[in-house]
Structure 1
Amino acid sequence: MSQDDAGIDLDTSLGYVLKEASSALRAAMEEVLRPLGMNVTHYSCLELLAQRPGLSNSELARGAFVTRQTMNVLLQTLERDGQVTRAVEAAVGKAIPTRLTPHGRELLGRASAAVRSVEERMLSGMTPEERTAAFGSLQSMIRALRAGADTAPGNEGESL
């Protein structure tokens, strides 16, 4: 059987290794966030709001890589728990902006420290130069894939 018949060689597939790294990173993050009563999506939402206050449900969902429905459920829980506030109605259009509360900021501080420890552990065997090169390589891959999505069959004229 030729390589074409066998499919992708997982031992040399960069895509497979990236997915494996992503899964390992998520599992390690979940492990350090669990004692704080959080998961990766919860943490991502708070981090996004700290960096970009007033994001809408749709913007938060895109930034956290979840559906709008999943984000809406999470935001209802975070609002109930006093971690975020949302306007009763939208100032403009239909989007209701969300902001962190002081309690949400305090939780985010502890979660960010935990997540930083995971990232440092992940990068501990790399030199600063290797870290910079890895970061640049991953950004290049993302750009290439996003550019390819614009030109893929069936996506003519569509943008991301």
Structure 2
Amino acid sequence: MLKTSGQTIPLSADHKPDHEKERKRIEEAGGHIAFFGVWRVVGILATSRAIGDLPLKVRNFINAEADVVTLDTEEQEADFMIIATDGLWDVFTNEDATQLIRDNMGSPFLGSKHAVIQAYLKGSMDNITVMVIKLYRTDKNS
């Protein structure tokens, strides 16, 4: 996610089991989703795409198929990127997370740490990892 000229640009979409496309794929593979605090693939995994979880992957209930976004950060005049786990995104919108980091950009480390603490205080029930990458533009005139 980037912040440019006051605009948030999402660079990914959640792969949650209850999203229509994901639910359909899981059910066509013979699986189901169940609600245990959050929607879960066969009552186990709260995401429908993952690198591990071989028993679910073998039956095609989950996959590791990536969504790839390519973006020229200089063309977008991007200031920073947030890479975070579900624990942040479950309790923050893209815009709110971006503003939280923007307000704490004096130190990207402190911005990340602050975002983790705020997600926890908002009741996140998932793992919370946040990394902020400060982007610098090159001078095209040199």
Do these two structures clear the TM 0.5 threshold for a shared fold by scoring above it?
Answer: no
For CA contacts below 8 A with separation 6 or more, give which structure has more relative contact order.
2
TM-score by length of structure 1 reads 0.27
Q: Output the TM-score relative to the length of structure 2.
A: 0.29
Structure with greater helix share of residues: 1
Bigger fraction of residues in strand: 2
Rg larger in structure: 1
